[in-house]
Amino acid sequence: MLFNLIKFLIIYILLMPSISAEELIVFNFTEEELNSLKVRKVRGADEKTLYSVNSNQDGNYLKAVAVNAASGVGKEVKINLNKTPFINITWKVEKDLKGIKEDTKKGHDFAARVFVIKKTGATPLSNRAINYVFSSNSNVGESWPSPYTKKSIDKVLSSTKNDFNQWVSVKANVKEDFKKFHGLDVEELSGLAIMADTDNSKLTAISYYQNIFFSSE
């Protein structure tokens, strides 16, 4: 009897899901959170992007609708990249921006993007950022400096060329990306922002965001 109990416990422990990986959830996507997020309209944009929250079988999500618009929602939050260097994003693009050149000022729009920001000076212009994007025209893995500032790098994590109008989950090592693109050994992020923008192309984009968190692996 004792032997069978011990055998059962060993099998149970082996089959238990691992909980060693550390995770830090950034957004909950509730109405209360949306109302508390900082909203920043891009200078020169005619309209603000419209953000709303909803839910499905996998939990809450944020919907973004940009009609010749550009504004982002974000929060200041400290992320220890030594403990949780990986950003995880689940997102979907329902209406994309085909035909634009995303590495130019005239075409620098994305149906979905998530900024990770590191404060490196006294003003916002001195900050360094990596802009993880759901591209409408480029391939996954491509990257380039923003045509507006070399202190922000665009990196394609998803593309509607592969995943159009369907949820897709992606991951990136933020700590390694800051080292690769900015030459910085960043130990702690300063904040995150979400944005869908069409102010340059004057088009319409619709996208969704869910389960944005940082993890140790």
pLDDT recorded at residue 113: 97
Q: Calculate the average pLDDT of the chain.
A: 89
- CA R_g for the chain: 19
With a pLDDT cut of 70, the percent of the chain lying above it is 88
The pLDDT of residue 143 is above 90: yes
- How far is the C-alpha of 153 from the C-alpha of 157, rounded, in Å? 12
Closest CA to 50 of 68, 75, 28: 68
pLDDT recorded at residue 120: 84
pLDDT recorded at residue 123: 66
The pLDDT of residue 1 is above 80: no
Q: 11-15, 25-29, 54-58, 62-66 — which is least confidently predicted?
A: 11-15
Structural domains present in the chain: 21-215 (2.60.120.430)
The pLDDT of residue 106 is above 80: yes
